[in-house]
């Protein structure tokens, strides 16, 4: 039995197809199939039911996969341990970022990071929070950047910044003439929201103490902040934006922005990783770069989270 054989088995279990698995393992399909067959012969058992389409795990195969994940993960950590001991900043580093953060945060820190740490092979994916958590638990990515708290015992969180909410208020809106907004001013029925699946939508619903959108006239949700801004400018309601999203607005649109009175509502943004992750030196390096840049960009002091989720965590 070899680590390579176990990696091949895990690839087939994930993709349920020998050809696709071989492509992800960068070997030919006959080579992968032969190695898995050797492992099955050695164990004198069948890991896969090849008569099913897609390929299915046998009952014993399911137990073998669980153990194989542990063995492969632990073997991968040997390199991590050595590199951490040497203080080496390099190697593959897989990062997932949620959609409401990636477009604004990535341009701020990416160039600085790759210039400062050229030996790090940074691989970035845009993923939902749920996808990030699953990939962290499965070992497919090393770290994520997401809105927190998550309240997941398997996931560690390191806060990097608090990003204030900013109102985008069209001229015809009842709040347009106010210089600053208060949370009590908000009415969920005239706020344009992101579609389901975006944690920023949940932030807004929590902020307004609402569990659902229930407008008497229409319900409108979008997957894009830019779309929400355009709809707001058409007089369909106000919207709330994360602060970094407002930096690239043109001067005309910035006249529609309204900051909040203190305490300023904000979202907590953290670097998250699995509790068994050993690339802590790379995680700290990423955190320090992002933290150093964003703190200078967000010119707010004493920002206080007022989301019920955050209060629940503190209790």
From the number of C-beta atoms within 10 Å of its C-beta (0-12, 13-18, 19+), residue 300 rates as middle
pLDDT at 109: 93
Alpha-carbon Rg of the chain, whole angstroms? 24
Model confidence, pTM? 0.70
CB contact at 8 A, 224 and 230: no
Nearest to 125, CA basis, from 115, 116, 135: 135
pLDDT at 214: 43
Taking the CA atoms of residue 157, residue 222, residue 189 and residue 241 in that order, the dihedral angle to the nearest 10 degrees is 50
**What are the structural domains, with CATH classification, of the chain?**
3-84 (1.10.10.10), 89-159+269-303 (3.40.190.10), 163-258 (3.40.190.10)
> Which two structure tokens, joined as six digits, stand for 303?
């920002």
- Residue that has been written with the tokens 């349920």 in this structure: 16
User: What is the distance, to the nearest Å, from the Cα of residue 295 to the centroid of all Cα atoms in its chain?
Assistant: 20
pLDDT at 223: 53
CB contact at 8 A, 109 and 82: no
Which stretches of the chain drop beneath a pLDDT of 70? Answer: 83-84, 194-223, 299-315
Nearest to 305, CA basis, from 208, 203, 182: 203
pLDDT at 313: 39
- Residue that has been written with the tokens 């919207």 in this structure: 239
CA distance 45 to 64: 10
């Amino acid at each position: 039995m070899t680590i390579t054989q176990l990696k091949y088995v895990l690839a087939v279990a994930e993709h349920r197809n020998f050809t696709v698995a071989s492509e992800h393992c960068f070997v030919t399909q006959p080579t992968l199939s032969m190695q898995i067959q050797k492992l099955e012969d050695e164990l004198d058992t069948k890991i896969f039911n090849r008569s099913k389409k897609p390929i299915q795990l046998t009952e014993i195969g399911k137990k073998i996969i669980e153990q194989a994940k542990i063995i492969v993960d632990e073997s991968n950590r040997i390199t991590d341990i050595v590199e951490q001991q040497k203080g080496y900043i390099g190697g593959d580093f897989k990062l997932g970022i949620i959609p409401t953060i990636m477009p604004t945060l990535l341009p701020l820190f990416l160039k600085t990071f790759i210039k400062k740490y050229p030996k790090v092979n940074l691989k970035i994916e845009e993923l939902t929070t749920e996808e990030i958590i699953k990939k962290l638990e499965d070992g497919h990515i090393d770290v994520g950047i997401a809105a927190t708290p998550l309240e997941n015992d398997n996931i560690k969180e390191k806060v990097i910044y608090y990003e204030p909410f900013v109102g985008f208020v069209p001229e015809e809106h009842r709040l347009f003439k106010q210089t600053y907004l208060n949370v009590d001013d908000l009415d969920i029925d005239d706020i344009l929201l992101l579609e389901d699946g975006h944690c920023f939508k949940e932030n807004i619903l929590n902020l307004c103490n609402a569990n659902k959108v229930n407008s008497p006239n229409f319900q409108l949700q979008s997957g894009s902040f830019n779309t929400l801004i355009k709809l707001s400018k058409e007089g369909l309601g106000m919207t709330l934006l994360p602060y970094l999203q407002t930096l690239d607005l043109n001067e005309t649109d910035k006249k529609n922005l309204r900051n909040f009175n203190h305490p300023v509502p904000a979202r907590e943004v953290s670097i998250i990783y699995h509790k068994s992750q050993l690339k802590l030196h790379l995680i700290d390096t990423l955190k320090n770069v992002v933290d150093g840049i964003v703190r200078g960009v967000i010119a707010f002091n004493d920002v206080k989270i007022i989301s019920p989720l955050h209060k629940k965590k503190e209790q």
